[in-house]
Amino acid sequence: MRKGHAERVAEQVTAEAMGKLLDSALADLTDGDRDALTLFAGEGLSYEEVASALGIPLGTVRSRLNRARRKVREALGRPGTTTSKEISTHG
């Protein structure tokens, strides 16, 4: 079924608003948390690869990603929700 013009416009406005919220949420993260999240979610690196790239222990990667995800979810108004990428631990 084809979407109507109004529905497409509404989806675009919603996507733009979410994009702005996401940009703001990422800007509010610490550099370390943002770096870990960017490498993991944006670049697709495993936890081990993120640790190696940043020169930090694996446990620190896990802590940073957990904290970054929580803050981004809260900023997007979605406490407690997860995505399939978040559920996957890559190891």
**What tens digit of pLDDT does each residue of 17-54 get?**
677 778 888 899 999 999 999 999 999 999 999 999 99
* pTM for this entry: 0.67
CATH number, domain of 21, equals: 1.10.10.10
Gap between the Cα atoms of 2 and 58, Å rounded? 47
- In SS3 terms, 62-81 reads as HHHHHHHHHHHHHHCCCCCC
For residue range 46-77, list pLDDT tens digits in order.
999 999 999 999 999 999 999 999 998 888 88
Domain total for the chain? 1
Is 70 within the bounds of a domain?
Answer: yes
